Structure 1
Amino acid sequence: MLTYPQIDPIALQVGPLAVHWYGLTYLAAFGLFTLLGIARLQHPPFAALTGPGAWTRKDVEDILFLGVAGVVIGGRLGYCMFYKPGYYLSHPIEILAIWTPGMSFHGGLLGVIVATIWFAHSRQRPWLQVADFVAPCVPTGLAAGRVGNFINGELWGRFASTDLPWGMVFPQSGSMLPRHPSQVYQFLLEGLLLFVLLWLYARRERREGQVAAAFLVGYGCFRFLAEYFREPDAHLGILSLGMSMGQWLCLPMIAAGVAVWVGKSSPRQLHRPI
């Protein structure tokens, strides 16, 4: 049985200026996205595109900028709507307090979808082509975020057997019983494993939309599994059918991925930019 090592959330402090580890994990996520996006330019079909439709490093930078905005805005709005709708309807001004805890991955995903639709429209490119470009570059950012969760000692797991060698006590949870280090599980599943599988899959030419569909199904399934080991939100608990809110939000995500995959299983057709 392990005990959570109390890690100072501040990585560096100079006078009143404090640099938090969580902020550094965000910077790492953005840096990894940029590096992977540049590498993605060499993958089919993007490497073969020429003329006005060619992809460049400038496209990677623009997608990152819009994606960050989508993550922050969508993640905050998603948390307010999915997890505490009653509270934020009564305190709407607090929705703008993005510096306070409260972000939702599924809300951030919706924000990124809106951002990529905007990008596709502005560049006159098919949206699914843009989604296919972005999808394999995302899991490493998710992995970085889970590292930040662990450093902050948040989003701990459910109680584990005392015989579990890696069971960890999180004193900040209010209990000295061992728990699953679910942040580590999610780091390995939704981060590293999903990245490896998706990156290898995307290196070969696929029908338009299939890489994005693989991301939706892959993340949805891995997150659904990890939720069985993660402590549900205290104010929500376990919902109907014994599932958490995170699991319920994964179901439409998986369904959407399957729908796109099935829809793209027919012979390729010409796509018009949106």
Structure 2
Amino acid sequence: MIYFHDIDPIALKLGPLSVHWYGVMYLLGFASAWWLGKRRVAAGRLPGVDANGFSDLLFYAMLGVVVGGRVGYMLFYALGDVLHDPLLLFKVWDGGMSFHGGLLGVLVASWWWSRRHRTHFADTMDFVAPLVPLGLGFGRIGNFIGAELWGKYTDGTWGVVFPSGLPAPLNQLDTATLQAQFATGALNPYARHPSQLYEALLEGLVMFVVLWTVSARPRHRYLVSGLFALLYGVFRFAVEFVRMPDNGVYLAFGWFTKGQLLSLPLVALGLVLLAMSRRAPVLQPATVVEGKA
């Protein structure tokens, strides 16, 4: 089935203020992390840390996501632009967030929090890892609603026609005209893979089910964070084959993308952490110490 993408990226208008679906998805991601984290704290999955300590951790992690995601995007994908105009770094309303940059931001924030709270950094990351996938899934749904990061053309009988992904002069036509052409089947050759939804399924739902299931019982240190790094790296690498390369440029071989290049270190890190987990101690749920921050 071919679907014509005609979703308003604005979820709500309050006078001059417009609330975009992408922002709503970010809020849902943070809200899900808060709710799941509260459950894990109550179950003693972060030894010696109570609800107040978790609130601090979530604040640091949110800051790391936003700052790291923006800085990472500008460095990885728009370095020339930001060197020409450094103020672009602060124009977050123009869009542009990087998962890999956000991940680095979360790692730095969690390391700082772990030092302050005298918690093993690996235990913190094992605790945080299951809270992230749902946020990734919501973010990819936000990408789909915003008609960004679309996939390559598909030869199948299903796909999505993104008006912004049509070649000129079709991308200059108004929505009503495009819908009329779509109804005749004239736009079917321009249907693309909804790679955003593929990622929402794999990086969001599948990763959440795996990590939440593994982390719900006693497990070796490094195991959960190792699975997170490995699964994300593999899933992202695979989806890149049907996703348009960043800035339309392949790095090598006519298929190797920057997203794949940035995912390879995660695959390697995941394998290293899984190997380390085999000799690491098994972490048992601990009694929460109320009032300790």
TM-score by length of 2: 0.84
Q: CA deviation at 1:45?
A: 4.5
Partner Cα distance (1:127, 1:173) in 2: 43
Whole-angstrom CA distance in 2 between matches of 1:45 and 1:152 = 36
State the partner residue of 1:73. 67
Letter in 2 for 1:174: L
Q: Which residue does the alignment assign to 1:268? A: 281
Partner in structure 1 of residue 262 of structure 2: 249
Residues in 1 aligned to 2:238 and 2:164: alpha-carbon distance in whole angstroms: 24
- AA aligned opposite 2:137: A
Alpha-carbon distance in 2 for matches of 1:26, 1:80:
19
Give the C-alpha shift of residue 263 in structure 1. Answer: 2.1
Q: Name the residue aligned to 2:250.
A: 238
Is the contact between residue 66 and residue 102 of structure 2 (CA under 8 Å) also seen in structure 1? yes
Q: What is the distance in 2 between the residues matched to 1:27 and 1:45?
A: 24
Larger Rg: 2
Contact 1:11-1:20 within 8 A present in 2 as well: yes
Deviation at 1:101, TM superposition (A): 1.6
2:222–2:273 CA contact under 8 A, matched in 1: yes
Aligned counterpart, 2:21: 21
Specify the code of the residue in structure 1 equivalent to 2:111: I
Deviations 1:142-191 (A, max 9, x none): 01101111111111111101x333x1111111244111011110010000
Identify the structure with bigger relative contact order (alpha carbons < 8 Å, sequence gap 6+): 2
Unaligned runs of 5+ in 2: 168-186, 284-293
8 A Cα contact 1:136 1:199, kept in partner = yes
Letter in 1 for 2:259: G
Who is 1:61 aligned against?
55
Structure 1 residue 94: Cα displacement = 1.6
Equivalents in 1 of 2:275, 2:33: separation in Å? 28
Which residue is equivalent to 2:236? 223
SS of the aligned residue for 1:168 comes to: strand
Give SS of 2:12's match: strand
Q: Provide, for residues 176-232 of structure 1, a one-character-per-residue CA deviation record: whole Å limited to 9, x for no partner.
A: 411101111001000001100111011111121211111000111111111111111
> Corresponding residue for 1:38?
38
Q: Which range is displaced more, 204-213 or 245-254?
A: 204-213
The DSSP-based 3-state class of the residue aligned with 1:35 is: helix
Of the three residues 196, 214, 224, the one matched with 1:201 is 214
Which runs of at least 4 in structure 1 moved beyond 4 Å after TM superposition?
Answer: 42-45
Q: Go from structure 1 to structure 2 and tell me whether the alpha carbon gap of 1:239 and 1:57 turns closer, same or farther (over 3 Å shift).
A: same
Identity of aligned residues (%): 43
Corresponding position of 1:104: 98
The whole-number CA distance in structure 2 between the counterparts of 1:246 and 1:5 is: 25
Give, in whole Å, the separation in 2 of the partners of 1:188 and 1:136. 15
Structure 1 residue identity aligned to 2:27:
L
Q: Which segment is superposed worse, 209-218 or 77-86?
A: 77-86
Q: Which structure 1 segments of 5+ residues have no match?
A: none
TM-score between both structures, scaled by the size of structure 1: 0.90
Name the stretch that deviates more: 199-208 or 137-146.
199-208
Residue 159 (1) aligns with residue 153 (2): yes
